[in-house]
Structure 1
């Protein structure tokens, strides 16, 4: 039996290939994939032709599904269980340079017996839409934790893409009320406003003055600066990071969440002067259970973020839509169509 699987063959060359249906080893689990979201990294992998592998690179890692087969050494799952998958657990790197990808009707998850965190059962009350967002929300929650975000903090998010908006949702859940989000897309800023963030269109006015209006004023060697406590950099754009470095108050926390593809010079005298706390945030460690609990509580509204749905058979059209920031935010793929 053959099944379709999305794979990158070269620069801007992504195809829906036919492969043999995977076989389950004793320590593995076979997942029937219901929904899988398109991540910004998927677009990046397509644009760069994969991760330098000699064979086609499978895509897809933001998924929800049900258990179709269970290896004999896997004890915590049963056929029919509704689950999410941690793509980085068990050494799998699903959709991120590994041998499997989730843009397919079936996904083989290896080494589940050795690492039970690889496949996690979800509560009955969690919808498939909510579950499909567990992975990106885990990325966002990890970024919040890296910045030690807490109720009462004044936070600025740069980038109202899926991850930036997920960060906003997580911050709302943590009790952060004075939240500003900066982006160039009016469409995405509208989504940000609908989930409780104060939008600012990049380049429209003086950001520093706007942040002082929203967060109050501090002084840095006699100069007025915003009293913002945390800056979340979720764009991967060099000018944005440089702007943060020249705006932050003394003791501000800066979380680098966006992937920077070019080097950014760091003025250590400026870091010293402002006593900045700069930290990176890469993927997640143990956030999946916390995100599932957060979603189960019913306090997170994902509808402003989920913008489009496509069947797997129309993956090319879905990728084109996901590449339009003024129209799309999170695009979900129905992998059974």
Structure 2
């Protein structure tokens, strides 16, 4: 079969690899769609992750169709459409330094257990939308880390795939008001489409002033604070942290799900005096199939997140597009 491999720093190739061997506890999935993540650009630039540098398989956002089922597997049948948990592979995280990747024609799901390392989805869900399951689990974990309640007023910074997924998650959890902040008008339009109550264009609006208008005046030791109770950084820019902490009222929560490439200085006196909670988020310890239920129920809403699709024969173009800043929001590779 053919698979996409990182073959050196800045270099990827589609190569022939051995067909997977299906053992009694395994399931073989024909990949039908696989999203490209921002982390893929990092792996490519590094030449792959140890211990597979120079020959690392790419792809960790898969959806596909079951084509072979080991004799000991239960609850999974040939023809089932499935989403897959990349961190549930015994041979290492799929497409993240493990032995296998999903930007390939087939993926072996070892020790396959439904609800643990794969889950069946209805056949009517488009595969390119199903491939969002993994990044949407990242977004859902970021949301869960901020412990939202219906009474909260939320500001999501960044209307890329994770920010949009977080917006959907907050509204699905019943949050009363969600405002999305970004610099790009088309992304803010998507935020409104997926359920945001309001948007702020940080390029031409005073974010702090608009948050006070939208969420009221906050309770704090110093004036000028917003009634926003939760801030989520899905942008990864120092200005987001600075704006959130400068605007945060007493007891506000700041969740960080975006990757910051450099340290960001913070005013600890402000954090102490206003008892602001800052919480990080990484991966999806329990959310990989929690988000599947909402994805199935509201797939048309999630479909808005996908901006570009490429066939597997165009995978190099897909990678270039996905890793070029500003060229795309969410790129998904589809397979015949």
Query: Is TM more than 0.5 here?
Result: yes
* CA distance in structure 1 between the aligned counterparts of 2:22 and 2:137, rounded to whole angstroms: 27
Identify the residue that residue 309 of structure 1 maps to in structure 2.
309
Identify the residue that residue 10 of structure 2 maps to in structure 1.
12
Identify the residue that residue 61 of structure 2 maps to in structure 1.
62
The alpha carbon displacement at 1:11 in A equals 2.7
How many residue pairs align between the two structures? 333
Deviations 1:252-280 (A, max 9, x none): 11111012222233443222112011111
Gaps of 5+ in 2: none
Identify the residue that residue 49 of structure 2 maps to in structure 1.
51
Identify the residue that residue 262 of structure 1 maps to in structure 2.
262
The alpha carbon displacement at 1:174 in A equals 1.7
Gaps of 5+ in 1: none
Where do 1:213-252 residues align within 5 Å?
213-252=213-252
* CA distance in structure 1 between the aligned counterparts of 2:95 and 2:199, rounded to whole angstroms: 33
**Structure holding more strand per residue:** 1
* CA distance in structure 1 between the aligned counterparts of 2:222 and 2:274, rounded to whole angstroms: 13
Identify the residue that residue 285 of structure 1 maps to in structure 2.
285
- Structure 1 residues 300 and 281: alpha-carbon distance in aligned structure 2, compared to 1, 3 A threshold: farther
Identify the residue that residue 151 of structure 1 maps to in structure 2.
150
User: After TM superposition, where is structure 1 displaced by more than 6 Å over at least 4 residues in a row?
Assistant: none
Structure 1 contact 308–328 (Cα < 8 Å) conserved? yes
Query: What SS does the corresponding residue of 2:44 show, helix, strand or coil?
Result: helix
Deviations 1:9-55 (A, max 9, x none): 23321222221212123332211001111112222322333224434
Identify the residue that residue 178 of structure 2 maps to in structure 1.
179
Structure 1 contact 294–300 (Cα < 8 Å) conserved? no
The alpha carbon displacement at 1:221 in A equals 1.9
Identify the residue that residue 160 of structure 2 maps to in structure 1.
161
Question: TM-score, with normalisation over the residues of structure 2?
Answer: 0.91
Question: TM-score, with normalisation over the residues of structure 1?
Answer: 0.91
Identify the residue that residue 84 of structure 1 maps to in structure 2.
83
Structure 1 contact 169–300 (Cα < 8 Å) conserved? no
Matched, 1:333 2:333: yes
Structure 2 contact 128–334 (Cα < 8 Å) conserved? no
Where do 1:70-149 residues align within 5 Å?
70-91=69-90, 92-112=92-112, 117-149=116-148
Identify the residue that residue 22 of structure 2 maps to in structure 1.
24
CA-atom RMSD in angstroms: 2.1
The alpha carbon displacement at 1:104 in A equals 0.8
- Structure 1 residues 323 and 199: alpha-carbon distance in aligned structure 2, compared to 1, 3 A threshold: farther
- Structure 1 residues 200 and 46: alpha-carbon distance in aligned structure 2, compared to 1, 3 A threshold: farther
* CA distance in structure 1 between the aligned counterparts of 2:236 and 2:276, rounded to whole angstroms: 19
Structure 2 contact 115–289 (Cα < 8 Å) conserved? no
Structure 2 contact 155–231 (Cα < 8 Å) conserved? yes
* CA distance in structure 1 between the aligned counterparts of 2:47 and 2:150, rounded to whole angstroms: 42
Between 1:180-189 and 1:93-102, the stretch displaced more is 180-189
* CA distance in structure 1 between the aligned counterparts of 2:180 and 2:47, rounded to whole angstroms: 32
